[in-house]
Amino acid sequence: MSPETDATTQEIEVLREAVADAGTLVMRYFGQNPETWDKPGEGPVSEADLAANDLLRERLCGAFPDHGWLSEESADDEERLSCERVWIVDPIDGTRAFIDGKEEFTVCAALAVRGVIVAGAVLNPAKNEYFFAIRGKGATRNGVPLVPGPVPPFEEADILSRRSVLDAAKWRGEAPGGRHGYVNSIAYRVCKVATDRWDIAIALNSLSEWDLAAAQIILEEAGGRMTDRAGNPIRYNSADTHVTGLVAAIEPLHGQIVGRLLPVGA
Phi-psi region of 36 (alpha: psi -120 to 50; beta: other; left: phi over 0): beta
Residues 135 and 16 in one domain: yes
- pLDDT the model gives residue 245: 94
- pLDDT the model gives residue 41: 78
How far does CA 134 lie from the centroid of its chain? 14
Provide the residue range defining the domain that includes 51: 9-145
Distance CA 98, CA 119 (A): 25
- pLDDT the model gives residue 1: 46
Below-70 pLDDT ranges, the chain = 1-3, 265-266
For residue 241, being part of any structural domain is answered with: yes
Cβ partners under 8 Å of residue 50, min gap 6: 73, 91
Residues 80 and 200 in one domain: no
Residues 105 and 27 in one domain: yes
Cβ partners under 8 Å of residue 113, min gap 6: 4, 5, 6, 7, 84, 85, 86
Residues 221 and 119 in one domain: no
For residue 58, being part of any structural domain is answered with: yes
DSSP 8-state symbol, 41 = T
- pLDDT the model gives residue 263: 84
Residues 85 and 185 in one domain: no
Residues 202 and 136 in one domain: no
Q: Give me the CATH number covering residue 187.
A: 3.40.190.80
Neighbours of 170 (CB within 10 A): 18
For residue 169, being part of any structural domain is answered with: yes
Q: Give me the CATH number covering residue 77.
A: 3.30.540.10
| Domain count across the chain | 2
Residues 141 and 32 in one domain: yes
Q: 122 near 214, Cβ under 8 Å?
A: yes
- pLDDT the model gives residue 266: 52
- pLDDT the model gives residue 3: 56
Residues 64 and 86 in one domain: yes
